[in-house]
Amino acid sequence: MVNKESYQQALNLLSEASTPSGFVAAVQEQDNYKRVWTRDGVITSIAALLTGEEELIKTARATIDTLFNKQHANGFMPSNVSPKDGTASYGGTSGRADNPSWAVIGLSTYTILTEDYSLWEKYQQQLEKCFAVMETWEFNGKHLIYVPQSGDWADEYIQHGYILFDQLLRVWALRLAFKLTKNTAYLTKAQNITDTITNNYWKTEEQKNAYAPNLVHQLKDTSSDFWLMGFNPARIYHYFDLQANAFSLLLGIGNPQQNEVLLNYLKNIYAKRQSLIPSFTPTIEANDADMNELKNNYAYSFRNLPNYFHNGGLWPVWNGWMAAALHATGNATMAAQLTANIHAANNHKNSFNECLHGLNNMPCGVEKCTWSAAGAIIAEQAMIHPEFKNLFNA
């Protein structure tokens, strides 16, 4: 049952974050947040589309228009666009490998949920460029894109290489494109990526068809309770990635046994915490070796202290996607509990903070963050919107 008061507050923030150019990431100017970001803007647009609110849907359309109008000639999408003067940034030290997928996802979901094909027809060339640039980012033609450090949403974290989250977004983008075109090339590519994921991101007793020989011996020290965060030539990341595991459930990547193992792992985490689930766990502590890589990766100030920000912090937006995944897999009770926790986090001083401290649940990021409201809306709409589950199937 929808929490009407908290839901309305989330809608109000989306309205407050609406500009003629689209949704800005936060309503106040801080660290470049008051701009239209591809990732944040698309997630917020999906939430807006699910609400059925006419004015918010108009802003979703403006968001997609703004982003595709600023696509780079080489096919990659802007990190963010200024609503004041239209200037675009394409990333800092590295670009954003998740943005082409998010752009296609945004364009596709807008088309499917509104049945308005005008943007779809307008941006077909740009859509093909998104898929083409991701094809080149494979580097070796083996179906996985290589993500640079700072190359996706967790841009101050340690991960780089074949990161699962980004592969899953690409699968989703391809499935949506197939749904709208029935072009089997999209579906074939999506299946090739999916097969590569299932062969390499879940620990089994006998690793068949490994992506590279080093994976066979590196997998020995990883968990078999969840989908692995990713790997590169030097290592496999042993951290639990909330985002990747949420989308693995939504996209139906795992078999029934894997889903059961993962869901038990999630239920155990939730039973211990009784609050939001960290985006990445375990936390990197001050004396851990990975802190050496983490501590200098920031743009404005160091935020990844233990249990802060990406390093064990709690993000309403990604918990919203996990609540949606739990509902989609028949775990309605835990989905409802997690949704209630999202509302509680957002309503703490009505701050809609982007993240909370991993131990004391206190806000520790930017206030009035639009995608925190979007996470709450997505969690609620996953329970009631008739088309939500169908968005993830080919």
Which CATH number does the domain housing residue 219 bear?
A: 1.50.10.10
Residue type at 105?
A: I
Question: pLDDT at residue 88 above 70?
Answer: yes
Length of the chain: 394
Q: How far apart are CA 254 and CA 236, in angstroms?
A: 20
Question: pLDDT at residue 52 above 70?
Answer: yes
State the pairing for strand pair 88-89/162-163.
unpaired
Decide: 100 and 76 in contact? Cβ < 8 Å: yes
Helix (H, G, I), strand (E, B) or coil at 229: strand
Q: How far apart are CA 144 and CA 193, in angstroms?
A: 7
Angle 332-346/316-328 helices, nearest 10 degrees? 160
Decide: 154 and 354 in contact? Cβ < 8 Å: no
Please name the residue that has the structure tokens 């068949």: 208
Helix (H, G, I), strand (E, B) or coil at 141: coil
165 closest CA partner among 98, 261, 66: 98
Region 344-365: mean pLDDT is 94
- With DSSP H G I counted as helix, E B as strand and the rest as coil, what are the percentages for the chain, rounded to 5? 50, 10, 40
229 closest CA partner among 218, 245, 216, 217: 245
List the domain range (segments joined by +) for residue 259: 4-392
Question: pLDDT at residue 353 above 80?
Answer: yes
7 closest CA partner among 352, 338, 343: 343
Please name the residue that has the structure tokens 């908290």: 6
Q: How far apart are CA 64 and CA 39, in angstroms?
A: 11
Report if pTM > 0.95: yes
Overall number of domains in the chain: 1
Q: How far apart are CA 192 and CA 170, in angstroms?
A: 11
With a pLDDT cut of 90, the percent of the chain lying above it is 91
Instruction: Return the beta strands (E) in the chain as ranges.
Output: 18-19, 22-23, 36-37, 80-81, 88-89, 162-163, 228-232, 235-241, 280-281
Region 20-34: mean pLDDT is 93
Work out the burial of residue 71: count CB atoms within 10 Å of its CB; fewer than 13 is exposed, 13-18 middle, 19 or more buried.
Answer: buried
Question: pLDDT at residue 350 above 90?
Answer: no
Question: pLDDT at residue 210 above 90?
Answer: no
Output the CA torsion sign for 371, 17, 36, 175.
Answer: positive
Peptide bond into 282 cis (omega under 30): yes
301-309 contacts at long range (C-beta below 8 A, 24 or more positions apart)? 303/156, 303/364, 303/365, 304/156, 304/157, 306/358, 307/283, 307/357, 307/358, 307/359, 308/355, 308/357, 308/358, 308/364, 309/156, 309/355, 309/364, 309/365
Q: Concatenated DSSP letters for 53-88? A: -HHHHHHHHHHHHHHHHT--TTSPPPSEE-TTT--E
Task: Express each pLDDT in 155-193 by its tens digit.
Answer: 999 999 999 999 999 999 999 999 999 999 999 999 999
197 closest CA partner among 137, 242, 258, 261: 258
Q: How far apart are CA 64 and CA 68, in angstroms?
A: 6
Q: Which tokens is 133 given?
A: 């640039």
Region 28-57: mean pLDDT is 95
Question: pLDDT at residue 207 above 70?
Answer: yes
Question: pLDDT at residue 1 above 70?
Answer: no
Decide: 11 and 53 in contact? Cβ < 8 Å: yes
Task: Express each pLDDT in 213-270 by its tens digit.
Answer: 888 888 888 999 999 999 999 999 999 999 999 999 999 999 999 999 999 999 999 9
Residue 136 is predicted with a pLDDT of 97
Q: How far apart are CA 157 and CA 165, in angstroms?
A: 14
Residue 3 is predicted with a pLDDT of 86
Beta bridge partners, 26, equal: 369
Q: Cα dist. 138→117, 166, 234 in Å?
A: 30, 12, 18
Tell me which DSSP letter residue 155 carries: T
